[in-house]
Structure 1
Amino acid sequence: MAGAIHRGAGTHDAIGEMPERLVSAVGHAGVFEDLLPVALWVTDADGRLVQWSLAAQDLLGHTPEEMLGRLADHVLVPERNRELADRLSRRVRAGAAVVARLPVRHRDGGVIEMEMWICPITDGLGRTGVLAIAAETSAVEGMRDALAALEGLFSQSPIGLAMLGADLRFLRVNEALARMDGVPVAEHIGRRVTELAPGTDALESVMRQVLDRGEAVVDFRHTGPERAEPEQRRTWSCSYAPLLGTAGQRVGVIASLIDVTEEQRAHLEVERARRRLALLAEAGTQMGSTLDLTQTAQEVVRVLVPRLADSADVQLLEEAVAPDETAASAHGVVRRAAAAFTDPAAPADHLAVGMTMQVPPGSVYEQVIGAGRPMNLYLSDIGPLIPGPGADRLREYLRARVGSARLVPLVARGTVLGAVVVTRTRDREPFGDQDTLLIDELVARAALNIDNARMYSRERDAALTLQRSLMNPSLPAVSGLELTGRYLPAGDHEVGGDWFDAIALSGGRTALVIGDVMGHGIHAAAVMGQLRTTVRTLARRDTAPDQVLRALDAAVADLGDNEMATCLYAVHDPGTGHCLIARAGHPPPMVADERGTVAFLDGPPGPPLGVGGQDCEVQRLLLPPGSLLVTYTDGLIETRGTDLDQGMRRLARALRHPGHPLEQICDELLAHVMPETADDDVAVLLARALPR
């Protein structure tokens, strides 16, 4: 040992070659100081200090200038310990090395208990001096405990632990970490993490950040392949803290790793379940928002792509959605109703909406349609389903890009309406069990919405057919009046019970009728047809306006308690220019003269048809030549958010040019008064008095 420390840091001459002057203090003890502050001093054979280290100054407060040349026992040894110190010194000068725990006096007068190693050393005159190496007892015990704890932690902890130097090379690892990365403990030492496990640059970057900033990083998640089974991926929670020296400098990194693969999988499964529930809830609001068949199919695609699939293709059986008279000729034919493909490489020209395809007999598609059960598809299954020009290019795309596919039949109320094909590209994980369950559930819901749209479409078509058959849109040529009218349903998918009519009466008179049956659909159209027929029958009997409305009230009441309608019935006499008008809950007609002065008919509207106790007031109105009578249903002037009076004022302002051709006036009224989104059907009947 003496030889090992013969030259001290900061000295110019060996201790055994004493210079003429006293040597200066020995410098700090490098790594020893980082781990444990160690004081060093040397006395000659007379007991005088010839070396005093800077670490000794740090621990005991005495500077080298104060200590060199002085008797060590007088300065450092408390009075009560002098005898023990003399005895130990004699043993050392006799050639023995001594280890002892002794109190040492601090410069401030206090006493510090120190662990000391005292051994003989030859001074400059060839005599035996004393070399003392000392550390504070509390620091030694703390280091011993820390080392014991560290040793126990490294040897027994199930957590992967490692110490890395400032160059981020492993200094020490435990068996738990070696098991995690599949590399023996010995093979770690001196190597970097990127050398042991390629693809871990992010981990090294985090450790470098910890070293540079001096801030710990906790629970950094890293996922990578297992060394033994690369197809299996595991996830680790990695935490890093700076390894500090006694002076607070950063000398390395402490790393701890926990395998959280199962926890991560459970978390991902919970998150996926949450997303599935959210998607189901969203689908409930997005799908079925309309009764349009095409739009409903598009809503299905928007729900599935891109969150669940990279493509979705909704194909409907022609025989399920076509009119009854054409269904038989469309057996086995499917038409693409909606499609979405996120992959830009997909050959869109062969996947266009509206394309039809004959289902190949004996194919998987036919099996799925026949059995009504979903199935995962393979490329060999999809190939036969792609006939026609461009099929080879599409098959090549499927082979190159599609990783998994599923064919789900659209089944509603026991009827197969078509199928939905969903795919994922090879860049995405294949459909799992939970994915397929969710897709099947969404398609089942979509099937009900599509079936609702299909049945509504058929009912609407039937209602339109009935309405056309019951209401002749052409008006007759009559004496003394020029006529025009319009009927506009609330939308492309709504048919109601609004109607108008003009009936030639005896004596050149004309009956003008406009009405509104509450409700929509085929039932409202049927009620409208009955009322129209009743009015025509009564009009030809020359029934007075108020009597016509009483008869209609009774007819509506006979249809049931929930039936209701409004009606305006007027009789124009070209000989006198007068018009008799009766109303049953109907909005007042508007009259405009040739100069454009506009007025609405005063008087009570009377109760609607169907409520009973009909007692209608008949009003007499003069229609001078060139004047205009405008009758309408409430859908023209009443919408959500506006009341009847606002609508009537809007209608009055819209009649700007009463002298224009009647057809033009009618179009202008509808353009300026009709709301952008109609809530109800609209019927308008215009009559202009001709010169007598």
Structure 2
Amino acid sequence: MAGAIDHGVPTHDAIGDVTDLLTASAGHAGVFEELLPLALWVADGDGRLVQWSLAAQDLLGHTPEQMLGRDAKQALVPEENHQLADRLAGSVRTGAAVVARLPVRHRDGTLVDMEMWHCPLADARGRTGMLAIAADTSAVEGMRDALAALEGLFEQSPVGLAMLGPDLRYLRVNEALARMHGVAVDDHVGRRVTDIAPGTAVLETVMRRVLDRGEAVVDYRYTSDGPDPALRRTWSCSYAPLLGGAGRRVGVIASLIDVTREQRAHLEAERARRRLALLAEAGAQMGSTLDLRQTAEEVVRVLVPRLADSADVQLLEEAVAPDETAASAHGVARRAAASFVDPRAPAEHLEVGMIMQVPPGSEYERIIDAGRPMNLYLDDVDRLIPGSESEPLRAYLYARVGSARLVPLVARGTVLGAVVVTRTRDREPFDDQDILLIDELVARAALNIDNARMYSHERDAALTLQRSLMDPCLPDVGGLELTGRYLPAGEHEVGGDWFDAIALPGGRTALVIGDVMGHGIHAAAVMGQLRTAVRTLARRGTAPDQVLRFLDAVVADLGENEMATCLYAVHDEASGHCLIASAGHPPPLVADRRGTVAFLDGAAGPPLGVGRQDWHVRHLNLEPGSLLLTYTDGLIESRGTDLEQGMHRLARAVHDPGLPLERICDDLLADLVPGAADDDVAVLLARALPR
């Protein structure tokens, strides 16, 4: 590795400056130090080491003190490679730089395979020496493979790849990322992400966090902005810190994958799941009541806010009004329920209960008559909402509503009204799946509203029938002061409970109270038949137990599923004596003028309609001032209260029999039935007058 001086070899002074620079910077080679550590040493014309770098010490273990002055060949080259070392030295003496792979002896005796660059260098005496620059072959190969892999990855990967410096400016991007951005590769270098894709400041924030914390971020989803949803793209962005020497963070490596299709599929699946959940919830919520107003409100609660920003349920008066008033309500719509999320909606034009006249020949009338839903557009607003008084509503719709649909409420071939749903401009317009869901929900709502409408009509008819059959005005009779009450079950149920008082010859009075099983028109009709039969039998002077036998036959003739209870009593004015027979009815309560309260002893006989005619007559002496209270089971039985508890409550409620009967009756009902009754309630009160 030693040799004589050769002409053309750089002088010691010329190359010495370079050597001094290399020596001075040995161990501090910047990028080389970080990516590929290089050992450097210098031998003079005699082949003796005159310089030994710190990097050489790190790679081979020898300190400068151990190496300086030693023969380089003897110290570093194994004996079997001495001839090869001599040939390389001869080439260097000719002024050539030689690159070769040689094994070099480590301090621990092992051999390190090294890639070496041998350069001629004049020593202090002007002879040709040698500068050796060496790197561990395995490190060189690793770097070569890494660079090849990086090149292949950047050139061939379909994934968008980029390297960014600590200032988050692009150092390198691949063609895939350039295509994603629509910007050439060269035009990326030196520019920031926001320069290439405006509106991506959030991505710079994420990358800055990666740099600051040294933690990778994987699969950060970013969706580009744009007025057209079809052109928006969704990216899966992953960032990792780019590490230099000693783990120093020198930049960011970024990968981007276009996941728009997968994201849309995921969103569609999520929307489908939400739609199914909404349908299931609608099935549970809508139709829970037969009240027309509450049913309309249920429709609004299902639609807003998850599916729409507003819902307006409008019912045609002629469809929901009683038959006798339907003709006069033609073309009139009433807002039954509404909800508007947007606080800027003109509330004074959207109040529940507002009545609107459908303009004859208008677009609204044609849609309602056809019974077919349609999307509404701004051009339709003037035709759908005519009139100068509606100008604030039209202005609001023009300014705020971005999507709307009008769906007629059609059930069993009858158009009941319409539902208008909207979304504001802040939200995506209705898509095809939204429209299908809206139409399905409104179709279900129409059936529920129609059920409530028909039930309301039936209830009104039953109540009318019951009132016509049961005269609430009790007669003036001798020896008794009378009053009574009838309460239907809640606001929507009419049943077969009734009471009656019949003046009989000889100063006698028949008192009747009964309860027909079931509700509705049928129960009211059965009640009417029993009431008529009782009046007929009473006027013939029929004994109480015989009256019940005849009534049992009447109920049996109506069908095997019919059943009723009845209490029949006859009071004699002269003696104050009462004869009482009961067919399955709750026992009457008796309170004397001192306030002592008791229920009439003796078990009630079987209900009417079961065919067992074993009713017994009980005797009661009703003293002047005493109170006889008869009632149906709806007064003492309710959810959470059994018969015995109800009777105790009733006994406590009759605390002062001397009060006016009307007051006693009102107090009883207020105490025992404070809200809507679970069942019909009938009460008949009789107080004995002084004889």
Describe how 1:162-173 pairs up with structure 2 within 5 A: 162-173=162-173
Tell me the equivalent position of 1:177. Answer: 177
Tell me the equivalent position of 2:139. Answer: 139
| Per-residue deviation, residues 356-397 of structure 1 (Å, max 9, x unmatched) | 222223322122112111111122322133345632222111
Tell me the equivalent position of 2:17. Answer: 14
| Per-residue deviation, residues 654-681 of structure 1 (Å, max 9, x unmatched) | 2222222222222222222226453211
Cα 1:43–1:578 change in 2 (3 A) is: farther
- Alpha-carbon distance in structure 2 between the residues aligned to 1:54 and 1:607: 115
Q: CA deviation at 1:16?
A: 6.1
Tell me the equivalent position of 2:246. Answer: 247
Q: CA deviation at 1:625?
A: 1.9
- Alpha-carbon distance in structure 2 between the residues aligned to 1:246 and 1:541: 119
- Alpha-carbon distance in structure 2 between the residues aligned to 1:165 and 1:230: 33
- Alpha-carbon distance in structure 2 between the residues aligned to 1:51 and 1:169: 41
Please say if residues 163 and 251 of structure 2, whose CA atoms lie closer than 8 Å, have aligned partners that are also in contact: yes
* Range that drifts further, 366-375 or 652-661: 652-661
Q: CA deviation at 1:84?
A: 2.4
Tell me the equivalent position of 1:667. Answer: 666
Cα 1:119–1:230 change in 2 (3 A) is: farther
Tell me the equivalent position of 1:637. Answer: 636
Tell me the equivalent position of 1:510. Answer: 509
Please say if residues 378 and 405 of structure 1, whose CA atoms lie closer than 8 Å, have aligned partners that are also in contact: yes
Q: CA deviation at 1:643?
A: 1.8
Cα 1:540–1:7 change in 2 (3 A) is: farther
Tell me the equivalent position of 1:540. Answer: 539
Tell me the equivalent position of 1:321. Answer: 320
Tell me the equivalent position of 1:58. Answer: 58
Please say if residues 23 and 53 of structure 2, whose CA atoms lie closer than 8 Å, have aligned partners that are also in contact: no
Tell me the equivalent position of 2:585. Answer: 586
Please say if residues 226 and 234 of structure 1, whose CA atoms lie closer than 8 Å, have aligned partners that are also in contact: no
Structure 2 runs not aligned, ≥5 long: 1-8
Describe how 1:94-493 pairs up with structure 2 within 5 A: 94-225=94-225, 232-388=231-387, 390-493=389-492
Cα 1:54–1:363 change in 2 (3 A) is: farther
- Alpha-carbon distance in structure 2 between the residues aligned to 1:384 and 1:161: 56
Q: CA deviation at 1:68?
A: 3.5
Q: CA deviation at 1:150?
A: 1.4
Please say if residues 101 and 114 of structure 2, whose CA atoms lie closer than 8 Å, have aligned partners that are also in contact: yes
Query: One-letter code of the match for 1:183?
Result: V
- Alpha-carbon distance in structure 2 between the residues aligned to 1:513 and 1:230: 74
Cα 1:48–1:25 change in 2 (3 A) is: farther
SS at match of 2:300: helix
Answering whether residue 616 of structure 2 is matched by residue 617 of structure 1, we say yes
SS at match of 2:565: strand
* Range that drifts further, 40-49 or 154-163: 40-49
Q: CA deviation at 1:225?
A: 4.7
- Alpha-carbon distance in structure 2 between the residues aligned to 1:685 and 1:563: 24
SS at match of 2:361: coil
Please say if residues 507 and 573 of structure 2, whose CA atoms lie closer than 8 Å, have aligned partners that are also in contact: yes
SS at match of 2:198: coil
Please say if residues 310 and 340 of structure 2, whose CA atoms lie closer than 8 Å, have aligned partners that are also in contact: yes
Query: One-letter code of the match for 2:377?
Result: Y
* Range that drifts further, 127-136 or 342-351: 127-136
Cα 1:601–1:226 change in 2 (3 A) is: closer
Q: TM-score, normalised by structure 2?
A: 0.94
SS at match of 1:272: helix
Cα 1:6–1:241 change in 2 (3 A) is: farther
* Range that drifts further, 396-405 or 81-90: 81-90
- Alpha-carbon distance in structure 2 between the residues aligned to 1:608 and 1:389: 66
Please say if residues 315 and 416 of structure 2, whose CA atoms lie closer than 8 Å, have aligned partners that are also in contact: yes
- Alpha-carbon distance in structure 2 between the residues aligned to 1:234 and 1:170: 22
Please say if residues 225 and 231 of structure 1, whose CA atoms lie closer than 8 Å, have aligned partners that are also in contact: no
Cα 1:88–1:192 change in 2 (3 A) is: same
- Alpha-carbon distance in structure 2 between the residues aligned to 1:632 and 1:145: 100
Cα 1:16–1:527 change in 2 (3 A) is: closer
SS at match of 2:233: strand
Please say if residues 164 and 254 of structure 1, whose CA atoms lie closer than 8 Å, have aligned partners that are also in contact: yes
Q: CA deviation at 1:46?
A: 2.8
Query: One-letter code of the match for 1:551?
Result: F
SS at match of 2:506: helix
Query: One-letter code of the match for 2:667?
Result: E
SS at match of 1:301: helix
SS at match of 2:430: coil
SS at match of 1:27: coil
Task: Give the length in aligned residue pairs.
Answer: 682
SS at match of 1:437: helix
Cα 1:657–1:89 change in 2 (3 A) is: farther
| Per-residue deviation, residues 483-529 of structure 1 (Å, max 9, x unmatched) | 22111111111111111111111221211111111111111111111
| Per-residue deviation, residues 49-80 of structure 1 (Å, max 9, x unmatched) | 33333322322223334333433333322333
Please say if residues 629 and 685 of structure 2, whose CA atoms lie closer than 8 Å, have aligned partners that are also in contact: yes
SS at match of 1:609: coil
Q: CA deviation at 1:303?
A: 1.1
SS at match of 1:188: coil
Query: One-letter code of the match for 2:249?
Result: R
* Range that drifts further, 542-551 or 480-489: 480-489
Cα 1:444–1:226 change in 2 (3 A) is: closer
- Alpha-carbon distance in structure 1 between the residues aligned to 2:23 and 2:114: 25
Cα 1:345–1:7 change in 2 (3 A) is: farther
SS at match of 1:47: coil
Runs of 4+ in 1 over 4 A off after TM superposition: 5-8, 15-18, 22-25
Tell me the equivalent position of 1:91. Answer: 91
Please say if residues 495 and 523 of structure 2, whose CA atoms lie closer than 8 Å, have aligned partners that are also in contact: yes
Q: CA deviation at 1:17?
A: 7.4
Query: One-letter code of the match for 2:17?
Result: A
Tell me the equivalent position of 2:3. Answer: none
Say what the alpha-carbon RMSD is for the aligned residues.
2.3
- Alpha-carbon distance in structure 2 between the residues aligned to 1:16 and 1:191: 38
Structure 1 runs not aligned, ≥5 long: none
Q: CA deviation at 1:28?
A: 2.3
| Per-residue deviation, residues 75-115 of structure 1 (Å, max 9, x unmatched) | 32233333322332232233121111111222222221111
Q: CA deviation at 1:124?
A: 3.4
Tell me the equivalent position of 1:26. Answer: 26
- Alpha-carbon distance in structure 1 between the residues aligned to 2:105 and 2:511: 125
Please say if residues 568 and 584 of structure 1, whose CA atoms lie closer than 8 Å, have aligned partners that are also in contact: yes
Q: CA deviation at 1:226?
A: 7.8
- Alpha-carbon distance in structure 2 between the residues aligned to 1:305 and 1:24: 76
SS at match of 1:185: coil
Cα 1:51–1:567 change in 2 (3 A) is: farther
